[in-house]
Structure 1
């Protein structure tokens, strides 16, 4: 029977989400990859146990995570029931609805029908009574914002969620939704955008908007799907995700464009006595609005390595300037490339 490490809260950093009462572990565990029906359950358990032992309390799911879609929630539910149930009140567990999940017109996007049904299914798969945070995974261009907001508000009022979040929304869309939530007194506290050294669009508009609204952020794709690790320092390995992935920017030709930048960043990380991944995570967390950054992991050792980023979060002005110079020389990545 799993027993959590008694010293799990001694070194983790916890950051307040905007002006809410909630704090998140500075590193959160994302279950987008490696937690599906095709992945060994024993390894999933080991990763979650290691994360919790290191003080990670934020666990991030979505209805469609797998593969197969839904299987990440099902597997997480099994691990919760068998190992983590005594620690439920120490965990912040999130899920989302908005991407395609089941056939027909109701298993996708942000209608009231889809949001409520998806949340109910997610609770059933995980075996939870409620989610700490429930997100609209993406804006629906055909559903009024008020309808999506009212559906999310209903989840809170019916006890199925404690807080509400948005993901993949623009700054304009966040501002509009925030005004609706404010009028209804819905506890909307957080937005989840993509953010890393290679993808910084949110710095100019979304992060300032979140700060103005007193909301927090949790960043995903924190290591750009492995580009900001040592995985590709010597080129594209044959068995790497870049050779298997359908994600456009992980196409081998795109990865090759980043190698000079990745190597220069790695050299700077070494002068800081950090791995490239550790420096990249620390750099993400320099943003005051960023309450947490999500990591993925295929084995427990990766969790250990990434959490060590918290040992050195400070940057000198010279280091930040060097990072800007290195990134300025990078050929812009075509995020839609095939």
Structure 2
């Protein structure tokens, strides 16, 4: 049945796109990730509404992985349904990325970084998505037991076969990033994106990873910029029922220590002084790095999506505000 969806003709009027490294591809500064909010645990209608509203607001990049759900594979299947019913006519206006690197199916060929796993996983992802190709295919994590040449060779093959347009890596340290970028460049499929975790509460990539990405002519697109919701106003006055600290395996109530909440309240004060939410401040903070082309946000509702996109309307961070943030985190 044909969809009644017609994209907002003004969707590109207020979004400023950033060039990804030395490539010709530009991305929105905030991309929609389908990691934890897309799967059988949530209404398909809600997921569809979030995706379509994001596109209407100029968000052209949708980030997935083979194991996103729950259950694994569900996010790709659900997004594939939305593509088929609503966004098929807009495929050339959309960047779709997916990944492989974590456990996806039983046996010796359903995990890690072998050529067999990565290429067969990509075929499965394309089938779930209903696409002939994805725009970016990532190796989701380094694999110490597989030669890096094999993993990067698989990404190169995916591009050569027309099943991906660009290559990406995720969770690689500085040395691994340099080595992967060199292999991909030598093969003629230069590294486009590195996707690391980065937030005010996790700054490990400032110890060399961001520099390695920039040196490679690539760009960083960061995940968990809100630290699993800790960098929001959600936990300022306790732990709400049904919040991620109660339901997620990636955040636990024990993580919300008195010391951490003291920092959260101090950061919230800075955000309020700027006329922002804490989440908007945290997003703007990661985007201050020139090599960071985009930050991946999740959303459990259209309202949350719209509020987070409000970060793009905030005033530039001043030197005094950056110093105050560092002091709050110290």
User: Which secondary structure does the structure 2 equivalent of 1:106 belong to?
Assistant: coil
Do structure 1's residue 25 and structure 2's residue 28 form an aligned pair? yes
User: Which secondary structure does the structure 2 equivalent of 1:231 belong to?
Assistant: coil
1:298 Cα offset (Å): 0.4
Do structure 1's residue 41 and structure 2's residue 44 form an aligned pair? yes
Query: Where does residue 304 of structure 1 map in the other structure?
Result: 306
User: Which secondary structure does the structure 2 equivalent of 1:232 belong to?
Assistant: coil
User: Which secondary structure does the structure 2 equivalent of 1:51 belong to?
Assistant: helix
Q: 1:99, 1:138 within 8 Å by CA — same for their partners in 2? A: yes
Query: Where does residue 87 of structure 2 map in the other structure?
Result: 84
Per-residue Cα deviation, 1:130-158 (whole angstroms, up to 9, x for no partner): 00000000011100000001111000000
CA distance in 1, matches of 2:224, 2:37: 15
- Between 319-328 and 32-41, report the one with greater CA deviation: 32-41
1:254 Cα offset (Å): 1.3
Which of 259, 262, 277 is the aligned partner of 2:279? 277
Which of 173, 176, 180 is the aligned partner of 1:177? 180
Which of 55, 60, 78 is the aligned partner of 1:52? 55
Per-residue Cα deviation, 1:105-132 (whole angstroms, up to 9, x for no partner): 1110110000000000000000011000
Do structure 1's residue 252 and structure 2's residue 253 form an aligned pair? yes
CA distance in 2, matches of 1:17, 1:238: 39
1:192 Cα offset (Å): 0.1
Do structure 1's residue 236 and structure 2's residue 239 form an aligned pair? yes
Query: Where does residue 265 of structure 2 map in the other structure?
Result: 263
Aligned length: 326
1:33 Cα offset (Å): 1.2
Q: TM-score w.r.t. structure 1 length?
A: 0.95
1:241 Cα offset (Å): 1.3
CA distance in 2, matches of 1:307, 1:279: 11
Q: 1:283, 1:313 within 8 Å by CA — same for their partners in 2? A: no
Question: Which blocks of at least 5 consecutive residues in structure 1 are unaligned?
Answer: 329-338
Q: 1:162, 1:187 within 8 Å by CA — same for their partners in 2? A: no
Do structure 1's residue 202 and structure 2's residue 205 form an aligned pair? yes
Q: 1:178, 1:188 within 8 Å by CA — same for their partners in 2? A: yes
Q: 2:22, 2:218 within 8 Å by CA — same for their partners in 1? A: yes
CA distance in 1, matches of 2:192, 2:329: 31
1:239 Cα offset (Å): 2.2
Per-residue Cα deviation, 1:28-86 (whole angstroms, up to 9, x for no partner): 00000121122211001000011001100110000000111101100000000000111
**Which stretches of structure 1, 4 residues or longer, exceed 4 Å deviation after superposition?**
none
1:174 Cα offset (Å): 0.6
User: Which secondary structure does the structure 1 equivalent of 2:146 belong to?
Assistant: coil
Query: Where does residue 190 of structure 2 map in the other structure?
Result: 187
1:238 Cα offset (Å): 2.9
Q: TM-score w.r.t. structure 2 length?
A: 0.97
Q: 1:61, 1:72 within 8 Å by CA — same for their partners in 2? A: yes
CA distance in 2, matches of 1:67, 1:212: 36
Query: Where does residue 67 of structure 1 map in the other structure?
Result: 70
CA distance in 2, matches of 1:214, 1:307: 27
Query: Where does residue 110 of structure 1 map in the other structure?
Result: 113
User: Which secondary structure does the structure 2 equivalent of 1:197 belong to?
Assistant: coil
Q: 2:181, 2:190 within 8 Å by CA — same for their partners in 1? A: no
CA distance in 2, matches of 1:13, 1:195: 22
1:13 Cα offset (Å): 1.9
1:313 Cα offset (Å): 4.9
User: Which secondary structure does the structure 2 equivalent of 1:298 belong to?
Assistant: coil
Q: 2:33, 2:62 within 8 Å by CA — same for their partners in 1? A: yes
Query: Where does residue 336 of structure 1 map in the other structure?
Result: none
CA distance in 1, matches of 2:34, 2:96: 11
Which of 287, 305, 327 is the aligned partner of 1:325? 327
Q: 1:164, 1:187 within 8 Å by CA — same for their partners in 2? A: yes
Q: 2:12, 2:57 within 8 Å by CA — same for their partners in 1? A: yes
